[in-house]
């Protein structure tokens, strides 16, 4: 990938549709969303040299979808607290996920205490009291079934690392393609998790804005077309 898929941009924001297999930032020796975004601004705005682009939230490398970056330090300072606040005027994220099995409960909330397992480079659910465990909560709605899998709409209510992947694995429904969290089934690209919608308050206009990334083509090729009409 040498180009960013821009959803929206102005002097303060750069909102893009991130593909799978691309780190948001920090990957040594390879392109990242951040580096490609900086290249895009240099080219389109004729700004040779160093370009500011602030990372205010991240997506896992194997997760696709909408993500916002800040074009100014002022925008970054006003966006970062929104992603730390998961109520009120905080940022609101909605994901699409495909999990193994049929989730019969049409809607609900998953709540777990989770902690980092640094040695294994993953998160785990705490089944006993731990000082380092933090609550992870998410809301979900079932959008439909495709043979022996379920398409879900998921809204994280907390911002724990890998929480959607971990919580659905713990519930017995791992995301397709997510071998780290127990999936035994493949997915065409990355894992079956897509950042579908993102709602934020614009850092200078103070207006509420919602951005949406279309369902990836790989999903359309894998899932029954009638199922995606719910999206």
Residue among 5, 10, 39, 60 flagged as catalytic? 60
**112 is a catalytic site residue:** no
Q: How far apart are CA 195 and CA 65, in angstroms?
A: 4
Whether residue 92 contacts residue 154, with contact meaning beta carbons closer than 8 Å, is answered with: no
Q: Return the SS3 of 139.
A: strand
Among 13, 24, 181, 158, smallest CA distance to 83 is for 158
Whether residue 3 contacts residue 40, with contact meaning beta carbons closer than 8 Å, is answered with: yes
Hey, what's the torsion of the CAs at 88, 90, 96, 99, to 10 degrees? -80
Among 196, 160, 188, smallest CA distance to 64 is for 196
Active-site residue list: 60
């Amino acid at each position: 990938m040498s180009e960013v898929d821009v959803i929206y941009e102005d002097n303060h924001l750069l909102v893009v549709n991130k593909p799978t297999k691309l780190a948001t930032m920090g990957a040594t020796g390879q392109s990242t969303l951040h580096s490609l975004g900086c290249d895009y601004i240099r080219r389109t705005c004729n700004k040779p040299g160093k370009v500011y682009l602030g990372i205010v939230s991240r997506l896992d490398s194997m997760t696709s979808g909408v993500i916002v970056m800040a074009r100014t330090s002022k925008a970054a300072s006003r966006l970062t607290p929104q992603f730390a606040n998961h109520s009120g005027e905080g940022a609101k994220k909605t994901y699409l996920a495909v999990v193994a099995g049929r989730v019969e409960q049409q809607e609900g909330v998953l709540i777990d205490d989770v902690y980092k397992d640094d040695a294994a480079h993953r998160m785990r659910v705490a089944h006993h009291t731990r000082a380092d465990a933090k609550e992870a909560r998410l809301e979900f709605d079932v959008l439909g079934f495709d043979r022996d899998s379920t398409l879900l709409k998921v809204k994280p209510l907390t911002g724990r690392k890998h929480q959607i992947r971990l919580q659905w694995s713990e519930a017995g429904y791992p995301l397709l393609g997510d071998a780290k969290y127990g999936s035994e089934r493949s997915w065409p690209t990355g894992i079956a998790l897509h950042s579908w919608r993102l709602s934020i308050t614009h850092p200078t206009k103070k207006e509420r804005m919602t951005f949406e990334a279309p369902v990836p083509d790989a999903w359309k090729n894998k899932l029954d077309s009638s199922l995606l009409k719910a999206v």
